[in-house]
Every structure is written in structure tokens, then in C-alpha cells.
Structure 1
Amino acid sequence: MKRVIVFLSVMFMTLSYGQEIKQVPQISVSGEGKVKVIPDQATISATVETKGNVAKDVKKQNDDKIDAVLKLLKKMNLAPADYRTQRVNLNPQYDYEKKKTTYNATQTIEIIVRDLNKYDELMEGLVNQGINRIDNVVFQSSKLAQHESEARKLAMKDAKQKAEDYVSVLGQKVKNAITISDNTQSYNPQPVYARFKTMAMESDAVGASNETLAVGEITITANVSVNFILE
């Protein structure tokens, strides 16, 4: 019996040594890629707000202004797919001091402007047709997917360069990547809260030639974490 136990113990020890995991030298680094582009389109969120004492009348006034806005968009040859109604509300508001109910109607339209040369004309037209609130304007790139791809490649190059910098003093070389993690956050362009001039204000500057749009640049960023095998 003792011989059997000793024999089994020797076999277990032999198998255990044979199954030891070989340590592979590796390095973990992060990389970042940034692409700066000039936006070529904008998304405008515009609202018509109407208040009054009779719900039916308030809704009709609001609908009439929205109808005029939609006709403007068609006149400017914007594609039907580039504008849509985002929100529609008709709410009673009770004044406890006056003991009176009034009504507030709002409709919000989201408009994509693919030609920024039309931006000023569109904004002026929206105000003329009854838009009394520009909620925000977001400048974007129509080639977002292409720029994101470029940013990812730059992030990988950055990670590899960092790894090579670290191990160069050790006389080692960077070989294959064994794991790659994408740490990129979703791209959310920041809105620009628009301030627009009324027609009365424009009349004070007749003949003036002013640029009203400064789109600047947007930055598209990619982040990765990479584990490389070392030689």
C-alpha cells in the first residue's frame, strides 16, 4: 500500500512540474491618436414657442409658424431626410394668484445643414418665420468614420512607439501584440449655443459685411491599451 501511495505521489509531482506555465516577457502600454478637422456641416435645434389663453388657438398659431419653417427648408432645397420634428408639447399652466389657466405650445425641429454657406441665410430665415429659440448648434464632420479610423491607427502607432522607447534601454525588442483594448469614448461634439440677431438689429448695420460663423476645429480622439510580447 505504501508503495502505491509513493508511486502516485511521484507521478503527481512529475505532472505538476510538466504543467508549469512558462512566463512570457511582455509590456503593457496605452496609446492615443488625435485628428483635428474643420467641420463641414452643422445640426441646428430650433424651437417655436407660443403662449395664449385658448389651447386651440395656441396650437394653431404654433402649427402655422412650423408650417412656414418647413416651407422655408423646402425652398432652400434641404433634403427631407435632413430635418425632422424632435419634440411637440402643449401644456396648461395654472396661475394660482390670478386663478387662471394659460397654455404653452412648443415644437422643436432638428435641422442638418450640409452646406455651411447656407448657415446665415437659414438662421435669418428661421427667425423671420417664427422660430424664437435656437436651442443649440453642433458643428460636425461628414467624414467622421474616416477620421475615427485614422485616429485609431495613430493610437496604435503611439502605443508601439511607447513600448519601443521603454524597452530600448534594456536591449529588448517589441514583437507581436497579444491583447488590444479600445478605450475610446463615444465622440460627442460640443454644442455651440447660438445667439442670433433679429431683423431690427440687422437693419442697424445695413451695408456692413460681417462674417457671423467661426467653426474652428473639432478633435476626434482614439485611445487604446496594448500588451506586447518582448524578445
Structure 2
Amino acid sequence: MKKILLVLLVCSVGLATAQTKDTMIPTVSVTGTGNVTIVPDGVTISVKIENEGNSAIEVKKQNDQSIDATIKFLKKSKLDKSNYKTEYVRISKNYNYQTKEYKYVATQTLLIELKDLSKYESIMQGLFENGVNGINNISFTSTKIKELQAEARKKAIANAKQKALEYVSVLDQNIGKAIQISESGSNYVPTPVMYKTVALADGSAPENTIAEGEMEISVNISVVFELK
């Protein structure tokens, strides 16, 4: 009886294995890339106000005065208060080994979003006139990011399909329906910005200190197609 059961079990396992092999679907896996470029319509500026001195109270007072003047300037420039905010405030105590004394450094940063690039020159000039003494970062933005990302995805899918067809054509085969799709990454690559932080010799502001160029959105999508 045990021998009969063992034979039946082996036959069942063999049949299940054969069925699994029969149901396996041959596939071809590819990764497509979609790129879309656009001229940005906005810019995000991270600036800082920093003062150094022998007293923590004094350097904080200097920073507060500059921040107050900067915010008043931004309001006067008709920037909505939702378009600028404080990133961080920090006061540090540093030791100078050459002079053998401590110095206090007060730092405060502001993040400013300009939705109108035509205001860039006047805003930057006013920021430095009102106490800002450093730029942390400048990056371009676009109000059409979501639309462009959707377009880049479609291009990535089309690119993946084209690759798959090229592969199977050499084998005299074809592809069927897509059975798996996954996005492996999206990148937003802004063009580097050029800027100046000082006025010209006659006291006027430079006319062109920013080159927005183009912003590229790149999407990578992996697709698994049936192989026929």
C-alpha cells in the first residue's frame, strides 16, 4: 500500500512540474527612456544673511536687522508672503586657533520663489542692498512639471516598445502584450544659472545676469513583453 502511495505521489509531482513548464511564458524585458525639455518659468533662490563678531547677542541683532529689511523689501516688491520663508536660523561659537579667541557666527537663510523671471534682476539687487551677503543655491522651476512628466512617461513606453521590436526582429519573432511595467526613476535636470552679485561701476545693476536655458525631464520605465 505504501509503495502504491509513493508511486502516485511521484506521478503527481511530475505532472505538476510538467504543467508549470507548459504554463511558463517566454518574455523580453527592456527599459525605455523618455526626455522632455522646456524653458522654465520660475526660479527658486536660497540666500543667506551671516554676521560674525565677539558677542552672540550682537551678531543676532545684526542678522535680525538685515532680515527685517529684507522681508520689508520683498513685501514692497509685491511678492506674496507664501513665496518666501525662513529655512533655518543658527548661531555658532567658533574658536580661532591663530588669534586664540572665540567668535560667534549668526546665520539665517531665506528661500524665495519667483514665479516671474522678469523680476529676477531687481529682486537680486534689492536683496544684497538690504543685507543678504550670500547665495546658497539657485534652481529653475516649471509650473508644468506634472504635464511634462506624463509626456515623458509616454515617450519612455514608446521607446521601450521600439527596443523590444528591434530585439525580436533579429530572431524572426514578435512581441505580445505587456505583462509588467515599472518606473525605475525620474530626473529633473535644470540648466545651471549664471548670476552676478555686485553692481556695475556706475552703481547700476547689470542688465542680464541669468540664463535660464532649458530644463530637462527624464523618465526611465522598464517593460516586460510576451515573446511570440
- Alpha-carbon distance in structure 1 between the residues aligned to 2:20 and 2:206: 78
Query: Residue in 1 aligned with 2:32?
Result: 31
**Structure 2: gaps (5+ residues):** none
1:94 and 2:92 matched: no
1:213 and 2:210 matched: yes
The aligned amino acid for 2:105 is N
Query: Residue in 1 aligned with 2:123?
Result: 122
Out of 62-71 and 84-93, give the one that drifted further.
84-93
RMSD (Å), alpha carbons: 2.6
* Sequence identity percentage: 42
- Alpha-carbon distance in structure 1 between the residues aligned to 2:60 and 2:142: 36
Superposition pairs for residues 113-192 of structure 1, below 5 Å? 113-187=114-188, 189=190, 192=193
How many residues are aligned here? 227
1:230 and 2:196 matched: no
Q: Are the aligned partners of 1:135 and 1:194 in contact in 2 as well (CA < 8 Å)? A: no
- Alpha-carbon distance in structure 2 between the residues aligned to 1:104 and 1:214: 33
Distance 1:130 1:14, change over 3 A: closer
**Structure 1: gaps (5+ residues):** none
Distance 1:14 1:183, change over 3 A: closer
Post-superposition CA distance 1:134-155 (Å, at most 9, x none): 1121112121111111111100
Q: Are the aligned partners of 2:85 and 2:111 in contact in 1 as well (CA < 8 Å)? A: yes
Query: Residue in 1 aligned with 2:20?
Result: 20
Q: What TM-score do you get using the length of structure 1 for normalisation?
A: 0.86
Post-superposition CA distance 1:162-183 (Å, at most 9, x none): 1112223444332210111211
The aligned amino acid for 1:116 is L
The aligned amino acid for 2:34 is G
Query: Residue in 2 aligned with 1:108?
Result: 109
Out of 166-175 and 115-124, give the one that drifted further.
166-175
Q: Are the aligned partners of 1:33 and 1:221 in contact in 2 as well (CA < 8 Å)? A: yes
Structure 1 residue matching 2:208: 3-state secondary structure: coil
- Alpha-carbon distance in structure 1 between the residues aligned to 2:38 and 2:123: 24
Distance 1:13 1:62, change over 3 A: closer
Structure 2 residue matching 1:28: 3-state secondary structure: strand
1:47 and 2:44 matched: no
- Alpha-carbon distance in structure 1 between the residues aligned to 2:87 and 2:35: 32
- Alpha-carbon distance in structure 1 between the residues aligned to 2:64 and 2:17: 81
- Alpha-carbon distance in structure 2 between the residues aligned to 1:112 and 1:75: 15
